[in-house]
Structure 1
Amino acid sequence: MWALRRSVVPLRTHGYHVGATRTCCAKLDTLTTDLEHKVETCSTQFVSTGYRAWSKRSYQSLSSHLKFSSASRGLSSQAGAESSEEGSVEDGFSELESPSSEIAEGKTVKEEISEDLNSEPELSDDDEAEVSLRELGLSDTDQNAVEEISSKKATDSGLLKVLMAATRNSLDSELNKWDEEGKPLGRSEISLAMLNLRKRRWYGKALQFSEWLESKDKITYAERDYASRLDLIAKVRGLQQAEKYIKGIPESFRGEVIYRTLLANCVTASNLKKAEEVYNKMRDMEFELTAFSCNQLLLLYKKLDKKKLADVLLFMEKENIKPNLFTYKVLIDAKGQANDIGGMEQLLETMKEQGFEPDISTHSTVARHYVYGGFNDKAEAVLKDMEGSDLKKNRGACRSLLLLYADLGKADEVDRVWKVCDPNPRMDECLAAIEAWGKLGKIEEAEAVFNKMTKIWKNPSAKHFTTLLQVYANNKMLMKGKDLAKRMHECGCRIGPWTWDALVKLYVQAGEVEKADSILNKASQQNQIKPLFNTYMHIMDHYARRGDVHNTEKMFHRLKQAGYVGRIRQYQTLLQAYIKAKAPAYGFRERMKADDVFPNKLVAAQLVQIDAFRKTAISELLD
């Protein structure tokens, strides 16, 4: 662990400088596989942030003035991936995609279930895998129920069909009818339905179903049931309502799983201030903290404040919390993002020494950073390792290979990998192939894969169209994008945030920013669905490049209205608008401070530039 922590320390230099003092006198035993050691004295203090290390006997909270800045969905990676992002505790956040109440015309419920459960989740701007419900402690712990669930297919669940076919207004009456007719409503049937509603991201319906079950006393609540409800409330109604719900949970059930679930949703929302409070509360309540909880902070710091990664590792070292595979993945990705390729390679070796073999996800991360760093030879070597000796037997790697070979600009390799998939393609491979061909500018090939996909899956969903729509947007093909959007509407597809994102980008790339702005405005008025952060940024970036301060400020305000506050990127863009317009931005430092945002190196340089435009008494007279 000491070696792991030391390897991350240089990341501090990539963040905004804070005055720091540290005294650390440690006597380390020989580093063993379980990473145990003895620390005689160790204290860490950051003058600016007040970050402190803790001991098991003294549960000290993070200083109340420790401030974070915000960086889409369910739970992402270790954190969670489906809820929207926000930095303000007061603002709730809604489902990222609320499916329409009715099944699209022409689709049976069975087709809808099969289609969505055999396909990848919608595209996102932060594409990280969902943490498992089992890892969060929300899965059914009854082994018999687990076995029964695993033996069933979603398409065989009558209860799930009822839940999917009913509108939210009619759901309660349909469930009452199901119950009155004496149809199965045991723990396994409920768990199967709830699991598949979550897979489809139908969190609103899942929450309504959960509330109906409680009102009818259909299940005896255990801690995992309260945690599951809490998770749904956080996703649908926001963190504030989730905290209120916790107060109503019987004290005997308010354990570590409950607060771990809340912490994961804070991380999903990129709400560092609230995540800090929850983490400190878990320590104050003397819950045993696991690698999972520490990984939440690592995931956030990786996105927002890499200089603090080493502090989390120091804490894990003191508390003898062993890093797991995900810990290494986060740190490897952080090193890659900082363009510290040597450090990334060192961490990879340390991970192997500790008995963790890199999986496809880890290899993909390493290869991606090699590509972006210009180390193409090293990237290709990693891709060959991913392929193995027989790609047909290693189909799980195809999706990543398609995208990474496209990043390398190797059309022949993309074609070779696709030929392995082509005879019997999987959904995720088709979507990856469309995206890969789009990156290479091979529009006809991308369209051919799309057409093949629509023949295999007779009723294409929004994710099929959106992937190709993104290709058209990236290649500035407005007319084709419009035609595809019309076709999508005719197929009765549900329109969600990723479709809006593609449409907005399509019009921005074509220079029709006003139309893009209009689409975003209509999308943001739909209360059940919240546009992605990047969707706003497509338009805001364009205004900033033009030096249009008024409209850039307008988009900045709309971002805050949507709950996206505390992100350094939106401040960078706003500052760029002022710089382009050669206009002073009065009180900008105070604005950032009010939102708990602290300048990084780039923003600090931008602030110096806008100071140069500040008018003095003499300049005003001369003007």
Structure 2
Amino acid sequence: MSLGTKVHGFCGAIIPRVSGSSFSTRNSSTLTSRCSKPFVNGCSLLPSSRHTTTEEVPFSLYNRWIRHCCRTGRIDEAMSLVAEMDSLGSRPDSLTYVCLIETLAGLGRTLEADALFQEAVRFGPHGSNTRLKVRLYNVLLKGCLRKGQLELAVRVLGNMEEENIGKNQETYEILLDYYVSSGRLEDYWRVVNEMKKKKFQLSSFVYGKIIGIYRDNGMWKKALEIVEEVREMGLAMDVHIYNSIIDAFGKYGELDEALQVLDKMQASSDAKPNIGTWNSLIRWHCHHGALEMAIELFTMMQDQGLYPDPKIFVNLITRLGEKGKWDLIQKIYEAIKCRGHKDTGAIYAALVDVIGQYGRFHDVKGLVDKLKSEGLAPSAGLFCALANAYAQQGLCEQTVKVLETMENEGIEPNLIMLNVLINAFGTAGRHMEALSIYHHIKESGFTPDVVTYSTLMKAFIRAKKYEKVPEIFREMEASGCTADRKARQLLQSALMILDKRH
């Protein structure tokens, strides 16, 4: 069954259905039907008279061209070339498999990535190259977890064990990143202990995640103790740890302290602020209502040559829109245009239309076509940013249209998009539709994370269905997902109201 979304029921309950993208691109047109000649580093990858010499093209050139297409965002053309190689009795080399799988997984086309992965494992010419095999596994593992498909990720890890391929540092860090973001803390500590047992170094990335765990669970003093532990060990205070500290300060409203950490980073020679640093600072200043400083930070980030994250842009202009500051929204957008952000300018223009006009931009397909005409390749992240812009205003129909358009582009919905749908219906006061999305998540092989449960609890609180909140909370704990501070606050609010009723 193809990807699609149906709206059913008297309440307009949405029951999306997700299945894999078809592998039809493998049956695309042949090389001889193409009219554009590929070039890499100024050299043609194919003979000039391809209509007569196609069969003589060395397979090494096919591999180079496929990798070039992946790097330049032409994945469908790359898949067509794979089909041609297959028809000629050959397959991509190991490096090309890695490039293809990484690109497909990044676009949310995880089922195609998995199919290629299985092919690579079965036929790949990597032989005894364990290092390349681990890289293949890591690429697929990251794609599965990014989409929220924990069961598929567990299968990947099982295949690694069966082939006696050990996890490397990257494998562990991929797992740790997912377990923290999804609230699966028992799994997180299990992986940390496994790393210690196998004598892997606990890097600044790992310690940064540990600080984040304590931050999310209200253990501020413990987070600071970890910082001291890092210093005593002589481990460099790199950008990962600095970003975790900034995020911790921001979460608890200690904005001046967060800015002091920024000053230290800017004065440092080896831990300069990155996009994550600025995103965190802008997000928490918006959260605590310090919009003027958020705008100043937004400008400072661009002064350092960094492209604004569309999610942060949505957050900032949504806050300004709530206060009716349309002139500032337009001013921010004009400033971005003046800086010549050609690659991302179209998405910001679209978001201004959505937020600045409060959802009056109803033609979602037209909006996406506009982005494509500007040379912006559709991606899962782009669609999530658009959907989030509508969801924050409770515009359910438009959010659903974004999902449908995403599916029509051949991109599989990920857990982030489904969480956005729950938020859209919850914000609109349609809690039963929000609940149907949650059931769909579980039925479709996704693993709900702490954001899923918190957003669902919030939907029932908005609908004044407080008795349902403890039930959702218990279900979250039973799933192995550990509640963060926000989830516990939602539970406490619901219980207080229920106590007053009795």
- Say which SS state the counterpart of residue 293 (structure 2) adopts: helix
* Residue from 423, 438, 443 that aligns with 2:359: 443
Gapped regions of structure 2 (runs ≥ 5): 1-17, 32-59
Judge which range, 316-325 or 517-526, deviates more.
Answer: 517-526
Q: Residue 555 in 1 paired to residue 467 in 2?
A: no
Q: Residue 218 in 1 paired to residue 134 in 2?
A: no
- Conservation of the 8 A alpha-carbon contact between 2:105 and 2:113: yes
- Say which SS state the counterpart of residue 396 (structure 1) adopts: coil
Report matched runs for 1:505-516 at 5 Å. Answer: 505-516=423-434
* 1:455 counterpart letter in structure 2: K
How far off is 1:322 after superposition?
0.8
Provide TM-score, normalisation by structure 1.
0.57
- Conservation of the 8 A alpha-carbon contact between 2:392 and 2:427: yes
- Conservation of the 8 A alpha-carbon contact between 2:458 and 2:490: yes
Q: Residue 396 in 1 paired to residue 396 in 2?
A: no
Match of residue 300 from structure 2: 385
The number of aligned residues is 438
Report matched runs for 1:359-508 at 5 Å. Answer: 359-388=274-303, 394=305, 396-397=307-308, 399=310, 404=316, 406-408=318-320, 410-419=325-334, 428-436=344-352, 438-440=354-356, 442-444=358-360, 446=361, 451-457=366-372, 467-477=385-395, 494-508=412-426
- Say which SS state the counterpart of residue 307 (structure 2) adopts: helix
Match of residue 207 from structure 2: 294
Match of residue 216 from structure 2: 303
**In structure 2, do the counterparts of structure 1 residues 473 and 289 end up closer, same or farther at CA, with 3 Å as the change threshold?**
closer
Deviations 1:547-583 (A, max 9, x none): 6454334433554576544445444433433321227
Instruction: Return the index of the structure with the highest Cα Rg.
Output: 1
* Residue from 238, 243, 248 that aligns with 1:334: 248
Residue identity over aligned pairs, in percent, reads 16
Q: Residue 270 in 1 paired to residue 183 in 2?
A: yes
- Rounded Cα–Cα distance in structure 2 between residues aligned with 1:370 and 1:376: 6
**In structure 2, do the counterparts of structure 1 residues 284 and 498 end up closer, same or farther at CA, with 3 Å as the change threshold?**
closer
How far off is 1:157 after superposition?
10
* 1:407 counterpart letter in structure 2: R
**In structure 2, do the counterparts of structure 1 residues 359 and 283 end up closer, same or farther at CA, with 3 Å as the change threshold?**
closer
- Rounded Cα–Cα distance in structure 2 between residues aligned with 1:197 and 1:489: 14
Match of residue 124 from structure 1: none
Deviations 1:130-162 (A, max 9, x none): xxxxxxxxxxxxxx99x968971228899x659
- Conservation of the 8 A alpha-carbon contact between 1:402 and 1:417: no
Q: Residue 576 in 1 paired to residue 493 in 2?
A: yes
How far off is 1:510 after superposition?
3.4
How far off is 1:224 after superposition?
5.1
* 1:317 counterpart letter in structure 2: R
How far off is 1:335 after superposition?
1.0
**In structure 2, do the counterparts of structure 1 residues 440 and 185 end up closer, same or farther at CA, with 3 Å as the change threshold?**
closer
* Residue from 15, 18, 21 that aligns with 1:100: 21
Report matched runs for 1:77-226 at 5 Å. Answer: 99-101=20-22, 152-154=68-70, 161=76, 178=85, 181-216=88-123, 218-219=125-126, 220-223=128-131, 225-226=133-134
Deviations 1:301-352 (A, max 9, x none): 3433443222322332232211212221221121111111232122222223
- Conservation of the 8 A alpha-carbon contact between 1:533 and 1:559: yes
**In structure 2, do the counterparts of structure 1 residues 289 and 469 end up closer, same or farther at CA, with 3 Å as the change threshold?**
closer
- Rounded Cα–Cα distance in structure 2 between residues aligned with 1:461 and 1:581: 43
Judge which range, 571-580 or 415-424, deviates more.
Answer: 415-424
Match of residue 140 from structure 1: none
* 1:511 counterpart letter in structure 2: G
The structure with the largest helix share of the pair is 2
- Rounded Cα–Cα distance in structure 2 between residues aligned with 1:448 and 1:254: 46
- Conservation of the 8 A alpha-carbon contact between 1:435 and 1:468: yes
- Rounded Cα–Cα distance in structure 2 between residues aligned with 1:295 and 1:570: 22
**In structure 2, do the counterparts of structure 1 residues 462 and 539 end up closer, same or farther at CA, with 3 Å as the change threshold?**
same
Identify the structure with bigger relative contact order (alpha carbons < 8 Å, sequence gap 6+): 1
Gapped regions of structure 1 (runs ≥ 5): 1-96, 111-143, 167-173, 585-612, 614-623
